[in-house]
Chains A and B, each alone.
Chain A
């Protein structure tokens, strides 16, 4: 019986202790130390100033400020004696201040125990002892950057220049610091003048007038409707908190085609005098070039790609064989200029072939700083090489040729012998 009562008593004690320890674990101790008079302890935007320490009376006066406030603009001002506590709410959590002790001296001090029911809401950047109290505290403010991108003309022609201006404005309650802007390159436009240059890392204060960060000129190179890529910025606030990247708007620019853009267009045509020939026949070819564009072509290169069954046998002096490929090179080919280049081929093998003409040239379109390069390939109609008139001669066994040749050789030899016999 005694044992039974003893066991029940033990279980009860364990339950009691467990309950007690579980309840005390919910309060988190933030601070348990001394603070000099005039200093404070910051929890986010709240600062607990130790206003005055009364060592002789073992009491102290505290003032609790929220945000940047004047000295008299406090929220709470508890007067605590040693051993007293004061509770107040911070961002839906409950904080408790207990005056543990006071100390006299040149600078009186108070030992405080500060606990909160949960410290998850506390920003580590804004937590701790603040020398000088609330007036020296750094508060976590929220900068809001607004980036605006604008163009001076949203309807231009190809080749026209449009001026792009990007501004930034901080509409938040705190300075944006370490702001880094990024302005991606704009396709279909070329940068012709960067007036302000690339902005460096900067701070953007609140309520400043919009600040120009980019001013540059773009030249449109192609017709179409284009949305300019947005300018982005990354930044932190004064306490180093990183905020999500912000982007500017994307102004739309309509670029219309213009006749001022010039090009060189080479019409290349390769014709042959016959497309069905017998083997070993000659084929006359004619390469016609005409520049139907609006500017001259430069570095014109034409390559005649002759298949194996055909053989290039000669042609216009302007044709050079480079690595076995008949090639024509023209430094410049003017507007509406025409040229005819003849060449000769020999059909070597029976088969069906085509001749490719690979062309490449460059021109200045008057817009882009680089020369425009054009490459193309044209192919002739099919060329049918059939058996030659005497091909059947070569289809016979060797003796078919050898025997007559021997006979003819014998006859010739005999005639020569006879001629020598009778030549006086």
Chain B
């Protein structure tokens, strides 16, 4: 049994973590926590960290003891510099909370790249974990909508760089911009994205600790995540009607199945495909055909098959990327945002000249 630690940093990380815990109950009901048990195959410990207490209070499926509030008013206000200071001030407390939960085989840190607490805490936290522990730490980073604002884009650019330089063993990207194609209002879109990430991560955890017809394990996952540019995405498809497993694999690798926009056949470096379903529906020929097709493009593909009687085919693909055109696009937008913010700051500086004008009457009183 694997010992797995999942940390959710900031509002986005907290919500995805809560979605994972909810999915683990296997029920959609809000009352599932009262009558059901989480169905983790592994020893999974979850920790939510936030400076905004309200975000922690909104969590419904994460135990109270697993929610760590870092007192700093009500958040850091999307200011990563403030966030870094707060982390440094509370580092000891955070790390003690993590260490109290024991040793782990793997750790996932979930965060938004654009926010305040998550984007500033995650790189520093990863760095501390890597310095103190020898288990692999993977970051699941959610990229912002491009139109969310210059501060968020600026944060995303610096956060992603900081995370990559923190010593993390891999970054799994999830792009809100790409995922908003799901439609619906903002809340349902966010919830949908959270659910998508949760479902994929749970599938991955289940696959890493399951007895398989064809085995993929944590070692394979490490190998996959160690390839490419250290960036990865996850594709997933769950058939809701009878369909060939080949179609399910294709759907998982298609843009609609990925968390981050990518042409896996061109940009992927390594891959791991895990297929689950009734053995009657899992045609080895079809699976081999699709895997061979992918491996011929990306090189090596780890393949795992989990047999579950009566279930329709479900496919999870972990793909590391050599390049990411979408990421380059994000950074070019981010650069514009940084410039825009700089210009704005300069304008604010000019406004201070007005303050100097006012200062001429300091210490004087009106005479009538």
A residues touching B (Cβ–Cβ < 8 Å)? 414-415, 418-424
Contact = CB atoms under 8 A, between A and B. Distances in A.
B72 interface: no
A421 B21 CA distance: 14
Contact of A424 (B33, B34, B59): B59
B168 interface: no
Interface in B38-80: 56-57, 59-65, 67
21 contacts: A414-B34, A415-B34, A418-B33, A418-B34, A419-B34, A420-B64, A421-B63, A421-B64, A421-B65, A422-B33, A422-B60, A422-B61, A422-B62, A422-B63, A422-B64, A423-B64, A424-B56, A424-B57, A424-B59, A424-B64, A424-B67
A415 B33 CA distance: 9
Contacts of B61: 422
Given A415-B34, A419-B34, 18 more contacts: A414-B34, A418-B33, A418-B34, A420-B64, A421-B63, A421-B64, A421-B65, A422-B33, A422-B60, A422-B61, A422-B62, A422-B63, A422-B64, A423-B64, A424-B56, A424-B57, A424-B64, A424-B67
A53 B57 CA distance: 161
Nearest to B67: A424
Contacts of A419: 34
Count chain B CB atoms within 10 A of each CB in A414, A420, A421, A422 and give the residue with the most. Answer: A422
A101 B59 CA distance: 162
A420 B34 CA distance: 11
B13 to A, nearest CB: 16
A423 B65 CA distance: 9
Interface residues of B, number: 12
Contacts of A418: 33-34
A419 B57 CA distance: 13
Contacts of A414: 34
Contacts of B67: 424
A423 B61 CA distance: 10
Nearest to B57: A424
Nearest to B21: A422
A265 to B, nearest CB: 70
Q: Which 6 A-B pairs have the closest CB atoms?
A: A424-B64, A418-B34, A415-B34, A421-B63, A424-B67, A424-B57
Nearest to A421: B63
Contacts of B57: 424
Contacts of B65: 421
Contacts of B34: 414-415, 418-419
Nearest to B63: A421
Contacts of A424: 56-57, 59, 64, 67
B44 to A, nearest CB: 16
A415 B34 CA distance: 6
Contacts of B63: 421-422
Contacts of B59: 424
A243 to B, nearest CB: 116
A422 B60 CA distance: 7
Contacts of A420: 64
A66 to B, nearest CB: 138
A108 to B, nearest CB: 152
B57 to A, nearest CB: 5
Contacts of B33: 418, 422
A424 B61 CA distance: 11
B62 to A, nearest CB: 7
B340 to A, nearest CB: 38
Nearest to B62: A422
A214 to B, nearest CB: 104
| Most chain B beta-carbon neighbours within 10 Å: one of A418, A419, A424 | A424
Nearest to A424: B64
Interface in B1-59: 33-34, 56-57, 59
A257 to B, nearest CB: 86
Interface in B53-111: 56-57, 59-65, 67
A419 B67 CA distance: 15
A332 B34 CA distance: 68
A23 B67 CA distance: 156
Nearest to A418: B34
Nearest to B60: A422
Nearest to B59: A424
Contacts of B64: 420-424
A419 B33 CA distance: 9
Contacts of B60: 422
A415 B31 CA distance: 10
B12 to A, nearest CB: 18
Interface in B133-157: none
A108 B61 CA distance: 160
Nearest to A416: B34
Residue among B33, B34, B61, B67 facing the most chain A CB atoms (10 A cut-off): B34
Interface string B325-357: 000000000000000000000000000000000
